[in-house]
Amino acid sequence: MNSTEIWFTGLLEEHGVALSPLQLEQFQTYYELLVEWNEKMNLTGITEREAVYEKHFYDSVTLSFFVKMDQASSLADIGSGAGFPSIPLKICFPHLRVTIVDSLNKRIQFLQHVVQALKLEQVQCVHGRAEDIARLAPHRDAYDIVTARAVARLSGLNELCLPFVSDGGVFAAMKGADPADEVNEAKRSMTELKAKLTSIEHLKLPFEQSDRHILLMKKNGATPAKYPRKAGLPLKQPIL
Ligand code: SAM
């Protein structure tokens, strides 16, 4: 193990996430592909190994400190970009059936390559806008956990993500420093989309020490027929 892998496995183990040599190798291959493909397309501004493991891999897995992954069977990641948080979560919790949605086809092609190279099973990479994909029966009100990191302000994000969550399921919005204003602004969108804020979890990245917040919402009921509205509208004219 190199020094990055030593702290990475150690910190995850403290939270009950034990990584096998195969899982560590999957993270290593993912890191190499990220750096390689990043030269041809814009995937991430972070390429140094330690920083990728901390700010992308570890940050993604922190969701499992607050949401019990072993009690879930399906997860959808909306606006996954280069695969965060869904690919690190899938590596750590291989039992999950994962759907990745992104509106940029190049990123979906990268993720399809990652899924093959890492031999991940039951991962579907869907190219399209969340507003359109959430209207398709297999995806609507269908997932135990829905995630989104760094996609949009919560008032608009709720309309992109909550329609994917099953009745009783969880939407986890992964946010940075201080989400209080966003949360206040998003109250009406939560009510309209049948969700209730259940907790705001706080953590710090282990070395950089920057603050992260995970907003957890529980869905109670089916998505009303009028949502999501036409593609583009949720972010342009959020429910306020
Ligand atoms: N979640 C990743 C992360 O944390 O690194 C990527 C964040 S990136 C800033 C936002 C991603 O959301 C982009 O890949 C973009 O293509 C995607 N996106 C934006 N609006 C979307 C929409 N309406 N439907 C699906 N994907 C969308």
Q: Where are the domains of the chain?
A: 3-236
For a mutational test of ligand 1's pocket, the pick from 43, 99, 100, 103, i.e. the residue with the most ligand atoms closer than 8 A to its C-beta, is: 103
CA of 79 to the centre of ligand 1 (A): 3
**pTM recorded for the entire structure:** 0.98
For the CA of 160, the closest atom of ligand 1 is 23
Share of the chain above pLDDT 90, in %: 100
**C-alpha of residue 2 to centroid of ligand 1, in Å:** 31
Closest residue by CA, ligand 1 atom 27: 79
**Which residue's CA is minimally distant from atom 14 of ligand 1?**
81
Show the 3-state SS of 48-112: CHHHHHHHHHHHHHCHHHHCCHHHCCEEEEECCCCCCCHHHHHHHCCCCEEEEEECCHHHHHHHH
Asked whether the ipTM of the predicted complex exceeds the cut of 0.95, the reply is yes
pLDDT bracket for residue 215 (50, 70, 90): very high
Residue nearest to atom 22 of ligand 1 (CA): 129
Give the CATH superfamily of 3-236.
Vaccinia Virus protein VP39 (3.40.50.150)
Give the Å distance between the CA of 62 and the centre of ligand 1: 19
Q: What is the pLDDT of residue 123?
A: 98
Beta carbon of 43 within 6 Å of any ligand 1 atom: no
pLDDT computed for residue 160 by the predictor: 98
Annotation: binding site: 79, 84, 130-131, 149
Number of the ligand 1 atom closest to the C-alpha atom of 77: 1
pLDDT of amino acid 132: 98
Query: From CA 240, how far away is CA 192, in angstroms rounded?
Result: 10
What would the pLDDT profile of 118-175 be if each residue is shown by its tens digit? 999 999 999 999 999 999 999 999 999 999 999 999 999 999 999 999 999 999 999 9
Give me the pLDDT at residue 216, please: 98
Residue nearest atom 6 in ligand 1 by C-alpha distance: 81
Which residues neighbour 41 within 8 Å (Cβ) at sequence distance 6 or greater?
106, 107, 110
The predicted-structure confidence for 42-93, as pLDDT tens digits, reads as follows 999 999 999 999 999 999 999 999 999 999 999 999 999 999 999 999 999 9
State residue 112's pLDDT score.
98
Question: What is the structure's pLDDT at 31?
Answer: 98
Binding residues for S-adenosyl-L-methionine: 79, 84, 130-131, 149
Contacts of 47 (CB under 8 A, 6+ apart): 34, 35, 38
Q: Cβ(62)–Cβ(210) under 8 Å?
A: no
**Position in ligand 1 atom list of the atom nearest CA 102:** 26
- Check pocket membership of 91 for ligand 1, CB cut-off 6 A: no
